[in-house]
Structure 1
Amino acid sequence: MIPQDTQTVYEVFASACQKHGKRPILNVLSETASVYGIEAGEITYAQAMDRVEAWANAFADAGYDSGMRVALLLENRPDFFLIWLALNKIGASVVPVNPDLRAAELEYLIGHAEPALIITVQTRIGELQAAADTAGVDVQAIAIGDAVPAPRADAVVAASADHDFDRETAVLYTSGTTGNPKGCVLANSYFLEVGRWYSTLDGIVSLTEDGERMITPLPIFHMNAMAYSFMAMITLGGCLTAVDRFHPRSWWQDVRDSKATCLHYLGVMPSMLMTAEPSPADRNHSVRFGFGAGVDPQLHAVFEERFGFPLTEAWAMTETGAGAVISNHTDNRVIGKAALGRAPDFLDILLADDDGNPVPEGQPGELLVRRKGGAPRLGFFSEYYKNPEATEEAWENGWFHTGDIVRQGEDGYFFFVDRKKNVIRRSGENIAAVEVESILMRHPEISAAAVAPVPDPIRGDEVFACLKVANPGEDKAQEIVTWALGQMAYYKVPGYIAFVEKLPLTATQKIQRAELKTMAAALLADTGTYNTTKLKKRQVA
């Protein structure tokens, strides 16, 4: 348990080092090490402390201080956590960067976050430096192992705080629902509340201080791995294995090699794992539970029966952290019905209609949440950086508006229904249609663009683009996708392209989203629609 007077993430880590110095904190599997070209094996708490102190001294000696940010594009390398802890110690903050982002997205993120320094892998230095130069931010991009340069001028950009507890420690960018990604400012309090919540959970997700080992394939630049996985482990003196990504064919061997007692997942993972032929080795592991979201209800029970451990479904957002989290973790949990769990004692929940009024009992409504007591925003994000209007809109009338449609059953369980907001959710990634449209419109031959989700049996949603061009055809569709792969993360690129004469627009020339979604669904089976999903692959630097 994290003491109530703890102020920073670094203090949690330092406490764990004192208690468990010889235990491993991080573990790198051989496959991940080979992908990244780093050393495989475990890093103990004591070894991690030595490296954290070295980084902290290097930053302090170079002039880094509270209020500055360092952008990190390090994929799922263990150095991410060590650098974050070092910066947290000196009062600085990190901006995790999705390695799948490309030119236009990187330019926006760097220009918006205004980091004092960018640390990345050697192969991405040129790309990030070019993005910073285009964005007009005089910041240097370096690789691990390079000498830490002085921070750029006027590098103090984060708001000051009276207490370290409220001080910014990270800015995570989330696609949100409209336009460019929003920068969620997360304080030390955000991460400490996650550690407290996860480490004290009961039921089938009970963790101990006996040396838990967690494996996650989820990206570190997301709150799940960065907050939930890492904070749970350092709170209890456990070990985290972060693999480079989810490898379905070698997943169970990774689980066995990591000696995992628990794992994190997204809904696409159970679906893919169930396609493999059953094997006598399916239960040859030490996992007690999986923790995640989005498992196909029809696969929930059969997955647990086949692999021998429960999947705990939960709900949270980057904005809510553990300030508002609902988890289906009790022994009498509901299985196979997209159940999120019951409301925890610390949380106020309101299911509301479009006017903010409570919906009738049993009817679906937007999920509104806040902490009980005198601190309704405890554990939530601090603000959307440079966007106070969006922050206040999200907290309208004192409730955080999640944008998720949920219903509550007679037994008190909450069940996920749908998303109210205009978000395409592909393999766990939130994709803002407006952002994709704005980037597509940079293509010189596209005169109009509209993007909608269409169903995908494995990934949940796929991106469908209706485009207007002068010379449509299959070659043009492939050329546009190839171009788009250099402009945005591969998962945002259209998986289907239909060339149309006009888009469904309102009288004020805004896209009619509902009609567009219907239109995309109808065009999906049209012979004139081009399937470009096979072109959607991670770009190699």
Structure 2
Amino acid sequence: MQIEEMELYGRKNTKVFAGERPKTIGEVLQNSLEKFPDKAAVVTEERALTYSELDARSTVIAANLQKHCSVEKGDRVAVIVGNRYHFPLIVFACVKLGAIMVPINVKLTADEIGYIIGHSDVKALISEADHFYKIEAIQEQQPQIIPTEDHIFIIDGVNTFETLLQPSNPTTKVDIDELDPAFILYTSGTTGRPKGAVLSHINVIHSLINFQLTFQTTPDLKTLIAVPMFHVTGLVGQLLHMIYIGGTAYSMERYQNKIYIEYILTYKINFVFNVPTIFIMMATEEEFKNNSFDFVTKVAFGGAPIYQQTFNMLKEVFPNAELHNAYGSTETTSPATLMPVSYSESKGTSVGPAVPVADIKIVNQNGEECPIGEIGELYIKGPMVIKEYWRNPEANETSFTDGYWHSGDMGYVDEDGYFYICDRKKDMINRAGEKVFSIEVEDMLKKHEYIKEAAVVGIPDPLYGERVKAFVVIDHFTEADVPSIKEHCLKHLAKFKVPELYEFLDELPRNASGKILKYTLKNRRN
């Protein structure tokens, strides 16, 4: 596909795919519907949806959202739903209305969900019944931010989601532009509050094309989504990627080692895409060791560092598969770099070259571009990079320079254009693909009545990549206080953010200017 340059979001000389690319996510579905109407598009543990069913049912949901809630173009629809068949239906219902879907991590607490709902100012809310108690808690504390009762739809519960599946008059036609927003995905924020990354249609379309061109994916592929669909990898890298190429996206609601392996074997899943943690967990099962996976043709991994021994294990277990490392973020609508179909073994731990339409440069602390091989921060530009964070002018001001998004990741590029990620500039912890910003956890720890100071770091872990460890300064501490600290955190933070390890100090190490030396803490030995 040819590449041309255009001005995008005021960013001059942005590379884009020229020619007959889809303009909207709705077109992506329509294109595959025309070719594969009776083929399974999505297969969940509850039911399967053909391309025709996905299209027809999402159209009905769109019509009912318009009828019951007056959802219009640009309105936000919050969705607290896991990997169930309802999720892709809601995706395309919102797309057809020009509404902005706000997928929310189902693991978040009522406090965290309440912030996202209030900040995005949603017009309608769809949730699983398992999470309705969180909505009730928000209603009790902040009733003004929750949509009215007739704008709330619960799957398997009161105000039933089935209302949205009842036959209805067709939707009023909506004109949607490729620059219009499609999703707001909230990411952890360095100020303790998450930021809403606004993904537009043009962002998503370019990521789908980047995946297809680099991985050379075809309609015969089947993937199994074990990561949440409310994360960018599950949403874009797997679900929408499969819809774009006319493949089939299988999914499981909760990851379980044995069941995941059984699904791969039963359904002959030939495109496996996961965080390295899941591959490591799979390797502990006898069923994984005792079966052949020679039918798998593509294996992709990202979201956390890949270690050489894990890479070697993947080559052995999937002998006929191309191995693709991937690097990206919510702000780059998934991939910024991808390993191609073939490459030298010496580059096995690289995250690959930039995707075809990306410009990536390595920048030092003075804002100057680094020479080849020198470590600096990755600045990323391209049509897959978001225009902005939702209602966050401060983050928009500090996160972009001349059209380049500041990734906060430290790395270098070699003479062949392959990128390597060395460390993170930001104080972010990556626990099995879930992102935790230390300042958010530290702020919560310091609200505990007995804690004077706190510093949180990621400690390397062979299974999860990193675990959350807290160093705290506290008076009159005894081991009996640890449960109360954890309980305090669990009231306000998702479980994966709560520190698993604690060390108690008389004071935190600091440099001459008073800054906490987290490097010292990371390398501390009890």
TM-score range, shorter chain: 0.7 to 0.9
Number of the residue aligned with 2:112: 105
Number of the residue aligned with 1:384: 389
Number of the residue aligned with 2:170: none
1:173 aligns with 2:161: no
- Counterpart-to-counterpart distance in 1, 2:375 and 2:486: 38
Once the two structures are superposed, residues 303-325 of structure 1 have per-residue CA deviations (whole angstroms, 9 ceiling, x without a partner) of 21133233310111111126x62
Number of the residue aligned with 2:61: 55
Out of 190, 193, 199, the residue aligned to residue 203 of structure 2 is 190
1:430 aligns with 2:435: yes
Number of the residue aligned with 1:9: 25
Identity of aligned residues (%): 27
Stretch deviating more after TM superposition (441-450 or 225-234): 441-450
Give SS of 1:52's match.
helix
Number of the residue aligned with 2:125: 118
Number of the residue aligned with 1:454: 459
**1:105 CA displacement:** 1.4
- Maintained 8 Å contact 2:457/2:521: no
Divergent runs of 4+, >6 A: 506-509
Number of the residue aligned with 1:43: 49
Number of the residue aligned with 2:37: 21
Once the two structures are superposed, residues 159-193 of structure 1 have per-residue CA deviations (whole angstroms, 9 ceiling, x without a partner) of xx995211111100111444211110111111111
Once the two structures are superposed, residues 106-146 of structure 1 have per-residue CA deviations (whole angstroms, 9 ceiling, x without a partner) of 22222212211221111211212322553441424430363
Number of the residue aligned with 1:137: 145
Number of the residue aligned with 2:412: 407
1:312 aligns with 2:324: yes
1:249 aligns with 2:279: no
**1:213 CA displacement:** 1.0
Number of the residue aligned with 2:292: 283
Unpaired runs of at least 5, structure 1: 34-38, 151-160, 372-377, 527-541
Number of the residue aligned with 1:96: 103
Once the two structures are superposed, residues 56-100 of structure 1 have per-residue CA deviations (whole angstroms, 9 ceiling, x without a partner) of 111111211112111111111121110121111111111111111
Q: TM-score if structure 2 supplies the norm length?
A: 0.86
Once the two structures are superposed, residues 489-527 of structure 1 have per-residue CA deviations (whole angstroms, 9 ceiling, x without a partner) of 111100111233333457887xx34x13413542xx53x
Question: Residue 145 of structure 2 aligns to which amino acid in structure 1?
Answer: V
- Counterpart-to-counterpart distance in 2, 1:74 and 1:460: 26
Q: In structure 2, do the counterparts of structure 1 residues 64 and 283 end up closer, same or farther at CA, with 3 Å as the change threshold?
A: same
- Counterpart-to-counterpart distance in 1, 2:196 and 2:427: 18
Q: How many residues align?
A: 490
1:206 aligns with 2:216: yes
Q: In structure 2, do the counterparts of structure 1 residues 342 and 7 end up closer, same or farther at CA, with 3 Å as the change threshold?
A: closer
- Counterpart-to-counterpart distance in 1, 2:191 and 2:333: 21
Once the two structures are superposed, residues 16-70 of structure 1 have per-residue CA deviations (whole angstroms, 9 ceiling, x without a partner) of 2222110001112xxxx3xxxxx3x422111222211220111111211112111
Number of the residue aligned with 2:171: none
**1:194 CA displacement:** 1.8
- Counterpart-to-counterpart distance in 2, 1:217 and 1:149: 26
- Maintained 8 Å contact 1:466/1:500: yes
Number of the residue aligned with 2:275: 266
Question: Residue 311 of structure 1 aligns to which amino acid in structure 2?
Answer: L
Out of 347, 358, 381, the residue aligned to residue 369 of structure 2 is 358
Number of the residue aligned with 1:367: 378
**1:428 CA displacement:** 1.2
CA RMSD between the two structures: 2.6
**1:336 CA displacement:** 6.6
Q: How does 1:495-506 map to 2 (within 5 A)?
A: 495-504=500-509
Number of the residue aligned with 1:537: none
- Counterpart-to-counterpart distance in 2, 1:234 and 1:340: 25
Q: In structure 2, do the counterparts of structure 1 residues 252 and 425 end up closer, same or farther at CA, with 3 Å as the change threshold?
A: same
Number of the residue aligned with 1:36: none
Q: TM-score if structure 1 supplies the norm length?
A: 0.84
Give SS of 1:283's match.
coil
**1:471 CA displacement:** 4.0
- Counterpart-to-counterpart distance in 1, 2:390 and 2:114: 16
Give SS of 2:332's match.
coil
**1:434 CA displacement:** 0.9
Question: Residue 74 of structure 1 aligns to which amino acid in structure 2?
Answer: V
Q: In structure 2, do the counterparts of structure 1 residues 434 and 497 end up closer, same or farther at CA, with 3 Å as the change threshold?
A: same
Give SS of 1:166's match.
coil
- Counterpart-to-counterpart distance in 2, 1:21 and 1:118: 30
Once the two structures are superposed, residues 364-384 of structure 1 have per-residue CA deviations (whole angstroms, 9 ceiling, x without a partner) of 11112223xxxxxx2221211
**1:223 CA displacement:** 0.6
- Counterpart-to-counterpart distance in 1, 2:373 and 2:501: 37
